[in-house]
Amino acid sequence: MRKTKHILYAAVVIGIALAFVTPGAAISNTKIYNKKASSTTPTLVSESPIQSTGAAILEEGFEGGVMPPSGWSTIDTNPTRNWDIVDAATYPDYVHTGNYAGWVNYDSVDPSDEWLISPDIDLTGYEEVTLVFWAESDTNWPGATMELHIRGDGFDDTIWDMIADEVWTDFIYREMTFDLSDYIGETINISWRYVGFDGQSFGLDDISVFEPSPEPVLEIGEISGGFGVSAVIKNTGDGEATDVNWSITLEGGLIILGKETTGTTASIPAEDEASIKSGLIFGIGKPTITVTAECAEGPSAEGNATGLVILFFVLGVS
Ligand SMILES: [Ca+2]
Ligand SMILES: [Ca+2]
């Protein structure tokens, strides 16, 4: 009886000890948090999806739920606080889109030097290459930083250093964009290296390497008078502008004819321009002349001038 009681007592003691030790160990090894989690709820800058607007070269949103993702690798310097996965079910504020994000937790016990390395990317044959990713961190704990490395045959370039390059007071996701066009013709890999001691945690999601689509950019060039109003619409972008809807409007003065002229120019090629002209204008006064243009691809432009309208003539436009 006494023996049984002893065993029971021992079991209870062990049970209580386990109840304390196990969660304690879990907290110190696997609980994921940022240093301001207790006082601030992180908010998302945007819920928008991956921002690629052209041909995708590499995309990774960690939706496989494993670290590293297939084809990726990590370098861990010690057993704890390395590159890991966070899931939205447990940590909704730490995932940008989908169910998972990459995560490296701050370490105030051991120094960190944790690498997350993309697959090799062959950038031969592209005209322009952009890298976009979403980063969640802040720079209030400068002991450790996140470095972005571009590595290839014979080079290792650190093109970004969070602590050196940013002032981030809030722990939120931010969209980061880098032009990788300098590496066209090379085979590269991209590394996120978390290095230092007692810094802030870092979340990573929605990585995209892509060749941007050529885009038109509209500007209103010279606006001139004479017999009516003429204007120039410039396309300073690297893509064609199509179905360019434009308007020339006169506000103010007494304009009897030609207060507004609208039209459509079917195409303005990249780095080209088109001339537009109002209809017959008749009136008197000094109206404000507004010229607008918007193309099917989205970009728009507006320009303003004033001129003196005397009967059929528009004079002194500037
Ligand atoms: Ca994700
Ligand atoms: Ca570590």
CB atoms within 10 A of CB 273: 15
Instruction: Tell me how far the alpha carbon of residue 28 lies from the centroid of ligand 2, in angstroms.
Output: 13
Is 112 contained in some domain? yes
Q: Give the pLDDT of residue 213.
A: 86
Shared domain check, 181 and 70? yes
Which ligand number lies closest to the CA of residue 100? 1
Distance 98 CA to ligand 1 centre (A): 4
Q: What is residue 32's predicted lDDT score, i.e. its pLDDT?
A: 59
User: Which CATH number do you get for residue 142?
Assistant: 2.60.120.200
Residue 192 Cα to ligand 2 midpoint, Å, equals 14
Q: pLDDT, tens digit, for every residue of 156-202?
A: 999 999 999 999 999 999 999 999 999 999 999 999 999 999 999 99
Count CA atoms within 13 Å of residue 91 on its CB side: 20
In this structure, the answer to whether residues 198 and 62 fall within a common structural domain is yes
63 Cα to the center of ligand 1, angstroms: 5
**Among 180, 211, 242, where does a domain finish?**
211
Can you give the pLDDT at residue 24?
Answer: 33
- Residue 11 clears pLDDT 90, i.e. is over it: no
Domain that residue 292 falls in: 218-315
Residue 125 pLDDT > 50: yes
- Structurally, the chain folds into a number of domains equal to 2
Helical (H) or strand (E) element with 8: helix 2-30
Q: What is the CATH number of the domain that holds 238?
A: 2.60.40.10
Last residue of one domain, picked from the residues 211, 238, 271: 211
User: Do both 94 and 189 map to the same domain?
Assistant: yes
As a whole-number percent, the residues of the chain with pLDDT over 70 amount to 83
Sign (positive or negative) of CA dihedral 115, 119, 120, 122:
negative
| CA 133 vs CA 32, 69, 259: distances in Å | 21, 15, 48
Would you call 195 helix, strand, or coil by DSSP? strand
Backbone angles phi, psi at 161, to 5 degrees: -135, 110
Is the pTM of the predicted complex or chain greater than 0.95?
no
Answer yes or no: do 132 and 233 share one domain.
no
Least confident of 31-40, 63-72, 278-287: 31-40
Distance 149 CA to ligand 2 centre (A): 18
Q: Which of 152, 180, 211 is the last residue of a domain?
A: 211
pLDDT in tens, 75-116: 999 999 999 999 999 999 999 999 999 999 999 999 999 999
Of the candidates 252, 246, 248, the residue with the CA atom closest to the CA atom of residue 225: 248
Alpha carbon of 299 to ligand 1 centroid (Å):
30
Q: Tell me the ligand closest to 76's alpha carbon.
A: 2
The residues near 59 (Cβ < 8 Å, ≥ 6 apart) are 50, 52, 207, 208, 209, 210
Which ligand is closest to the CA of 64, given by its number? 1
In a domain, 30, yes or no: no
Residues 195, 243 within the same domain:
no
> Does one domain contain both 65 and 104?
yes
Nearest Cα to Cα of residue 188 among 62, 57, 66: 57
